[in-house]
Amino acid sequence: MKVYFFIVAILTPLLLSGQIIDSRAIDVSLTIPQVAMMDLLPNTSTIELNVSAPTRAGEPIDMSNATDNSKWINHSSSLAPGGARRNVTAQILSGSLPQGMKLKVKAGNYRGNGRGDQGMPSQEIVLNNMPQVILRDIGACFTGRGVQQGHQLSFTLGYDNYSNIDFGNEIIVIAFTLTDN
């Protein structure tokens, strides 16, 4: 019996060697928020589109300074599982164009260092007071930040009805909105 007891006494610590003694667990969690953010780069300052009167009789009005490509749409978007994709709309929020003139805008194809589904440009639209889609089918993505990142906006001033053109200095406010589809 003593021998048996001795063997057990010696072996017990050895038997425990290599065995799991105890364990503890901690929880780690990450919450990805739903994000829908958009900005205009390099800034939201006023752009000027100028139409000059003809210098010679018989010539049309000079539209060479009636375009602007300086603004870029940057956006970041995350979607809940199964969540709706997003669009960017544009509309005239306040002010009105000189009579006989129309303002068109088009978003360019995506450029930059972002990732994901940055959206598809729609056809050029003529701005009015109703929101119209200029970018569609935006998924989870980010465009990158700054000019040359995202979608370049092309504004073009044109005449709607040449005979109705009424020169003047008008300021209009255009709203771009990132919305759920």
Partner 1 sequence: MRIGIVTSIIFLLAYQIIAAQGISVSPFSDWRIQPQPNEIVAGNDLPGTYTTAPDHMRLSVELGGDLKNNKDNKKWEVEVQRVDLDWHRDLELYVRLTGEGTGPEKAKVVKGGEVYQRIERSPDEFFKCKGWRYDIPIQFELRGVSLLLPAKTYRVEVLFTIIDD
Residues of this chain that interact with partner 1 (CB under 8 A) are 1, 4-5, 8-9, 12-13, 16-35, 37-39, 41, 74-81, 83, 114-116, 140-146, 149-150
Using the minimum distance from each CB to partner 1, give the nearer residue, 122 or 143.
Answer: 143
With beta carbons less than 8 A apart as the criterion, state whether 138 and 85 touch.
yes
State the Cα–Cα distance between residues 178 and 80, nearest whole angstrom. Answer: 16
Using the minimum distance from each CB to partner 1, give the nearer residue, 44 or 161.
Answer: 44
Min CB(83)–partner 1 separation in Å: 7
Whether residue 60 has a cis bond before it, omega within 30° of 0 = no
| CB atoms closer than 10 angstroms to residue 131 | 17
Min CB(118)–partner 1 separation in Å: 10
State the Cα–Cα distance between residues 141 and 118, nearest whole angstrom. Answer: 6
Min CB(141)–partner 1 separation in Å: 7
Using the minimum distance from each CB to partner 1, give the nearer residue, 83 or 131.
Answer: 83
Placement of tokens 């450029």 in the chain: 111
Using the minimum distance from each CB to partner 1, give the nearer residue, 24 or 56.
Answer: 24
Task: Report which secondary-structure segment, H or E, holds 142.
Answer: strand 141-142
Min CB(45)–partner 1 separation in Å: 17
With beta carbons less than 8 A apart as the criterion, state whether 37 and 111 touch.
no
